[in-house]
Amino acid sequence: MKLCIPSLGNGGLEDLVSEHFGRAPTFTVVDMVNNKVKIVQNTGEHFGGVGNTPDLVAGAGAEIMLCSGLGPRAISAFEQLGIEVYVGASGTVSEAISAFQAGRLNEASDANACKMHRH
């Protein structure tokens, strides 16, 4: 299982979770089977690049996205790609993974989508 967490830099498990998924500078992808950590630079259109950020995450092999929050359009895009999304992640990447494993993150839905991102 590969988890993906929007992050603020190249710090791996000790990096901080980015509060804005689309504008996260990096995505930390953690393979829970072999404990490998991969940092993916955000080259998506919301970060000044090109392309769809959910496609970038899918290309990195992520199966589950853990984030602070995201808008309904992003939730829908991840659903279409078969990637599960959980919201409420905070702190470090490691802390977000621990919260997910403990069942403390909520599955993303239109009801808990960021209200400021209804576009």
Residues near 18 by Cβ (< 8 Å), separated by ≥ 6? 6, 7, 8, 24, 25, 26, 67, 68
**Per the structure block, which two tokens stand in for 86?**
């959980």
Q: Where are the domains of the chain?
A: 1-41+72-98
CATH architecture of the domain with residue range 1-41+72-98? 2-Layer Sandwich (3.30)
Residues near 104 by Cβ (< 8 Å), separated by ≥ 6? 88
Look at residue 108 in the predicted model and tell me its pLDDT.
Answer: 86
Residue 21: strand, helix, or coil = helix
Look at residue 70 in the predicted model and tell me its pLDDT.
Answer: 86
pLDDT (tens, 9 = 90+) of the chain, 119 residues, equals 999 999 999 999 999 999 988 889 999 999 999 999 999 999 877 666 677 889 999 999 999 999 998 888 888 899 999 999 999 999 999 999 999 999 999 998 765 555 554 43
